Amino acid sequence: MRLESLITIEGLVVIGLGEGPATPILLTSRHVPFSAGETIELTCEFERLPLPRGRYFVWVGVFRNNRDLLPWRPAAHADVVGSRLDRSPPAIVRLAPVAAKTTWSTD
């Protein structure tokens, strides 16, 4: 992501990954100093995504003292290549599509 600031300031950069709406499944943040007139290139890499394959949306915002410097908004989409999500029975509602590697055994 490339960000430019008109003034020297530090902001909390927040990145989220979700299925579409503004409520992310994963969220990460970092305080970043911005210098007036400079453009910075910021890279965030998730080491492991506990998500099944599919299309997800990247949300981004920059905040300082509970003020929006860059309001929370969708910035891009990402296609995740991963495992398929197990189907749930009809009576169970899954809050988030999180996939975890599991090992099963029996005695």
Checking if the pLDDT of 107 tops 80, the result is no
Averaged pLDDT for residues 51-64 = 92
Q: Domain limits of the chain?
A: 2-80
Checking if the pLDDT of 53 tops 80, the result is yes
- Whole-structure pTM over 0.75, yes or no? yes
Length of the chain: 107
For residue 27, which of 60, 69, 53, 56 has the smallest C-alpha distance? 60
